[in-house]
Amino acid sequence: MNVFDWKLVYAVPLILAISLVYGATRDERFGPILSHTWRSAVWVIGFMAVIYAALLWAGWGL
Amino acid sequence: MRRAVGSTSFRVRRQFGVCRVNARSDDRDEFPEVELREPAWAALLAWLIPGAGHLYQRRFAKAAIFFVTIMSIYVSGVAIGGGQVVYASWRPNDYHWQFACQAGVGLPAFPAVIQYFRARDGKMPFFADRAYRINGRGEVLEEVSVGTPGSIATGPFSPPPGPIPTDQRCVLSIWHERLQHRFEIGTLYTVVAGLLNLLAVYDAFAGPFFIVPEGKDDEDDDERKDDDS
């Protein structure tokens, strides 16, 4: 079983875009926007990683 | 409205109309004032072209962020999906609800509307690049060159022609076969771009959601009450 699917790289631009746009709707200044962007990206990646690990564990051996 | 972010509780403050975030001079650095000009007009512009509403409001940095981010995702999605993932169609076996989300990006999705009406009226789509000979049930008999008599052409942003059967090899199934995962990825990118632009539209209409640390509002309210008294 492949632990890493190369198609996951398609998620990187999406995560960046979603985090940046979300961050930009939270403030008006560049510094806080980048700060929000970073926090959002970490949240999204962390959430995806947990789900990915759970699915990997559930499908292990299939 | 309260919500927990990490270990700290925050309060979300929403503003409508002219976004005078905080009238107190000592707080202006923390919550800058935002001039929304005509919010409805700005929202319309923001929908038509990502970032245009903010440009109208002279919020240049955010205009650049929204335009570059949303358009790059949208254009990437269209390119990944071979120009076939953004189209308008509502018929059996092809209820392309994704277009409702893709339309959130505004004018960049408008070619799909033009191609839809051309297909409905039996005209050849603009920039036709492929053509198929199909039977009455939608089954593709063969792929032919564009302009071949008796064929139906497709192009970027045009819906798959003919009926869409589930048990025959139709144009839509050929697109999936040719593009494989890229059809789904392209659709996802363009849908997300459209939805992100709705956030930008809201931001142009009502200003940003400033997140105020817990207790800050209460302190402000108390101070204002003291000042008033």
Residues B52-64 pLDDT 10s: 999 999 999 999 9
Residue B2 confidence (pLDDT): 35
pTM for the structure as a whole: 0.84
B199 vs A16, A25, A27: nearest CB: A25
B208 vs A7, A14, A27: nearest CB: A27
Q: Please, are residues B131 and B143 in contact by the beta-carbon 8 Å criterion?
A: yes
Per-residue pLDDT of B127-143, as tens digits, reads: 999 999 999 999 999 99
Of the pLDDT bands very low, low, confident and very high (cuts 50, 70, 90), residue B12 is very low
Residue B26 confidence (pLDDT): 47
For residue A1, the SS3 value is coil
ipTM here: 0.90
Which residues of chain A have a CB within 8 Å of the CB of B85? none
Q: How far A35 CA sits from the closest chain B CA (Å)? A: 12
Half-sphere exposure in the Cβ direction for B196 (13 Å, CA): 30
Helix (H) or strand (E) holding B99: helix B98-102
Contact flag B209-A25 (C-beta cutoff 8 Å):
yes
Query: How far is the C-alpha of B80 from the C-alpha of B63, rounded, in Å?
Result: 25
User: Across B71-75, B91-95, B167-171, which has the greatest mean pLDDT?
Assistant: B71-75
Per-residue pLDDT of A32-55, as tens digits, reads: 999 999 999 999 999 999 999 999
Mean of per-residue pLDDT scores for chain A: 91
- Give the tokens for residue A2: 């492949």
Per-residue pLDDT of B104-115, as tens digits, reads: 999 999 999 999
Crossing angle of helices B181-206 and B39-48, rounded to 10°: 160
Which residues of chain A have a CB within 8 Å of the CB of B62? 24, 28
